Structure 1
Amino acid sequence: MNPDGWLATAGHCVDPQSARDLIFEHAASDYVRQFPDSPEALNPVGAVQWLRKNARVEGETAEQGPEVSITVLYGSGAKVAATMNADVVDFRPIDKGDVALLRVDRRNMPSSELTTDADVSIGTRILAVGYPKSTQDITDPSLDPTYKSGTVSKKSLRQTIPEYEIDAPISDGMSGGPTIELNGKVIGLNSFRPASESQPFNFVAPVAGLAALLAAKGVVPTLGPADLSYRKGLDLYYSGHYTAAIKEFDTALSLSPDFPGLVDLRTSAVNLRQQYGDVSVLRGSNLMWYIGLVVVLAVGGGVTFTVLRSRRQRSAVSPVPDFQPIPHGWSPVGGGTEVAGEHAADAGAPAEHLTAGEPHFCANCGAQHHRTEKFCPNCGEPIVIDASAHGKHEKP
């Protein structure tokens, strides 16, 4: 539940009373094997019940009951990476919520997210995870759990305690394992099944009780750095980005060297990269994005080229006058050169040369322009040297 050594299981898995019941069950089973013709052999359940009422379980002394010790095996497959003693921090018995909080001395452990009751509904698809005793009796030992699929059938109460009814099959040995949604979040812990029920009809203790135990100890259920790298690597792995996935897997392994199944997954990523290579970024939506960008750039370049070409064509066909416009208006009368009025002194004088400090205006449209420009920025016409529309802009 938390990468710093916080674990969870069912309350009855650590309850001393459950240890007594287990001792009685083994005692009855051994008695029946030794005395198959005894009356108890005809009714082994009755034998267990008789022992519960009449027998006493002693510890190291007569006054001491059974001591419960919890050992956690950590690893995957047949490889046991670590064996750790766990302390029972707190628990609730089966009739009070059936959850337990454990602690081991280890950091950066794989952890899981908890869901909320609001996120669980009838029909929610789930997987019940655990180690069925019947399977272990006929297969080689393995730390890889069994996954049983099903759905949430009902939300119910048992003596005011919430429970989830599921149709995934659960058998002896799976108690305390998580029941998870398909997104990996834990909805509860495998709790119990009716003894007389032959069909998948099982009950899960919701994680609300476990969340309460964690909160009481000030522990926040969260994913650790190794989990985050692992999950990021999974996304990259299944999208075909094997090199990036391997990098994330290496990060997770550096934080949690015994992360279950991760070494095999990394090997698979290496093999797939060698066989198929990484997925190119120029695929799917990324490819369409790049194509769209190239098209936009091409269209923009074409527009720019067209504008420049149009301006050059206009400059090529526009006649350059072989005379200089006279800045101050005058009009010849008849064939003479008489100039009327105040401008008579300017008659026959050469056109004025504008200096760098004076304003420059287009002779065609009158727009102001920089003195070094060859074409008018407003109309596009060529700018005639020493020409000015100064007269159009004189103040009265």
Structure 2
Amino acid sequence: MNGDVTALVEAAMVRLYVETTAKVEYYNGTAMVNSTKAFTVASACSGFFISESGHIASAGHCVEPALVRNDIIAAFLAENVKDNMITEATAKEIMASDLSAWKIHGNIESDPPSQKVSAYQPKGIKGAVITDGPIVVPILGFRTHANGDTVLLKAEVSNATALAFATETPKKQTEVLAVGWPSSVDRVSDPVHQHASFESGDVSNDSGRSQAGVPQIQISAPVSKGMSGGPTVERATGNVIGVNSFFPVGENQPFNFVTGTDFTRQWFQSLGVPLVAARVAPAPDVPQDTQKTGSVPVWLWALIIAVAAMVVAAGVGLVVLRTRRARALVPVGQHAGSFTEPAAGMPGTVHGLMCGACGAGNQTGRFCNNCGAGMTQPTPN
């Protein structure tokens, strides 16, 4: 892995915690009523700086209220179980029933649920700019999962290490790194010190579209829960090809999707984000003894020229060398695949041999007139 790319991406990574608070409009058996209490659920996602002035990119579904609706309802039912208003079995039955009429909202029905997004960078990250604990980052723009799955947040920081977007969609088999914080790792480590995980893979499909027609890219790199919103970057440059978005339910193999490169970059540009310029892949190392002749060292070119000069001066020597090598493959006294061909009208008379080296016929001497390979003596039929 390119250490420079790893350090760059790690310095740009941001952990996000999203708190959604809402009241529940529910059916009490006779009518729809509102809960008197608001309920809060929290979720974790990954994000990354895309400008030096603190703009953060992540996945839209991380802050999409509709996707936490069931979690809010579950929290409401759990509170009723705790207060002995309903049994746990009843709560499970309700969750399994049709809840399409149930709604969540803010303090009043016309308000959306309230959200607070906090961002921080783990300790020990060189180049980190959020170093004094979590800070609240407001939402400046948002697209639902179905419409592009991106969100723009803003941290009040300066000189952030920002990742650039690739200038075009990567080709199939381009090596990539999916980056983020798997929630499963948090269960066995200290999140405050946990650095982002880098998962290797490549681009499996560069021309995919969702059922709604939104561009998306399929990758083979593993992406776990909690890595949503993190970047998938080109391994060679660190340029972002898309935001970690989703994986098909029930799929056990690395089969994940990120947002489309151009589609994502253009959306952030439309919001006025001062994106940084894309990085160029470093040129491969060239040995000191290699010049414009390509990957062939100068000393090898000198040897080739010397051999060519010897061939011009003594062309027969090269033919003899070839002949010896060819003859060494055939035991003494055996024909190298040659045969006799009687002359027409003269059965049993030797007309000549076919050369076993080049296939030329009608050879009657000790050496082939065409290639110079040695011939065995003609033998009558």
- For normalisation by structure 2, the TM-score amounts to 0.51
Paired residue for 2:219, among 159, 163, 166? Answer: 166
1:318 corresponds to:
none
The reply to whether residue 202 of structure 1 matches residue 256 of structure 2 is: yes
Matches within 5 A, 1:343-382: none
Q: 1:219 to 1:193 in 2, by over 3 A?
A: same
State the shift of 1:24 in Å.
4.1
1:9 corresponds to:
58
1:153 corresponds to:
204
Cα shift readout 1:34-55 (whole Å, capped 9, x = no counterpart): 99983875xxxx9656474243
Paired with 1:37 and 1:31, the residues of 2 have a C-alpha distance of: 9
The reply to whether residue 71 of structure 1 matches residue 118 of structure 2 is: yes
RMSD between aligned residues: 3.6
Q: Which amino acid aligns with 1:221?
A: L
2:178 corresponds to:
128
Paired with 1:12 and 1:6, the residues of 2 have a C-alpha distance of: 18
State the shift of 1:2 in Å.
0.9
Paired with 1:150 and 1:30, the residues of 2 have a C-alpha distance of: 43
1:257 corresponds to:
none
Paired with 1:163 and 1:32, the residues of 2 have a C-alpha distance of: 42
Give yes or no for contact 1:19–1:68 (8 Å, CA) kept in 2: no
> In structure 1, the residue corresponding to 2:104 is in which secondary structure?
coil
Q: Which amino acid aligns with 1:3?
A: E
Cα shift readout 1:342-362 (whole Å, capped 9, x = no counterpart): xxxxxxxxxxxxxxxxxxxxx
Structure with greater proportional strand content:
2
State the shift of 1:154 in Å.
1.1
Q: 1:6 to 1:195 in 2, by over 3 A?
A: same
The structure with higher relative contact order (CA 8 Å, sep 6+) is 2
- Give the total of aligned pairs: 227
State the shift of 1:57 in Å.
2.0
The reply to whether residue 176 of structure 1 matches residue 229 of structure 2 is: yes
Paired residue for 2:241, among 170, 181, 187? Answer: 187
Q: Which amino acid aligns with 1:95?
A: A
Paired residue for 2:159, among 99, 104, 108? Answer: 108
Paired with 1:146 and 1:181, the residues of 2 have a C-alpha distance of: 15
Q: Which amino acid aligns with 2:218?
A: E
Q: 1:89 to 1:75 in 2, by over 3 A?
A: same
Paired with 2:205 and 2:80, the residues of 1 have a C-alpha distance of: 40
Q: 1:9 to 1:39 in 2, by over 3 A?
A: same
Paired residue for 1:95, among 139, 146, 150? Answer: 146
Q: Which amino acid aligns with 2:233?
A: I
2:42 corresponds to:
none
Paired with 1:116 and 1:47, the residues of 2 have a C-alpha distance of: 49
Q: 1:75 to 1:29 in 2, by over 3 A?
A: same
Paired residue for 2:275, among 216, 221, 233? Answer: 221
Q: 1:55 to 1:149 in 2, by over 3 A?
A: same
Cα shift readout 1:276-297 (whole Å, capped 9, x = no counterpart): xxxxxxxx959xxxxxxxxxxx
Structure with greater proportional helix content:
1
Paired with 1:37 and 1:136, the residues of 2 have a C-alpha distance of: 29
> In structure 2, the residue corresponding to 1:128 is in which secondary structure?
strand
Q: 1:99 to 1:84 in 2, by over 3 A?
A: same
State the shift of 1:76 in Å.
3.2
Paired with 2:76 and 2:194, the residues of 1 have a C-alpha distance of: 28
> Alignment identity in percent?
29
Give yes or no for contact 1:101–1:213 (8 Å, CA) kept in 2: no
State the shift of 1:56 in Å.
2.5
- Unpaired runs of at least 5, structure 1: 240-283, 287-396
Cα shift readout 1:173-223 (whole Å, capped 9, x = no counterpart): 111011111121111001011122222211111232332233223333116
Q: 1:24 to 1:148 in 2, by over 3 A?
A: farther
> In structure 1, the residue corresponding to 2:142 is in which secondary structure?
strand
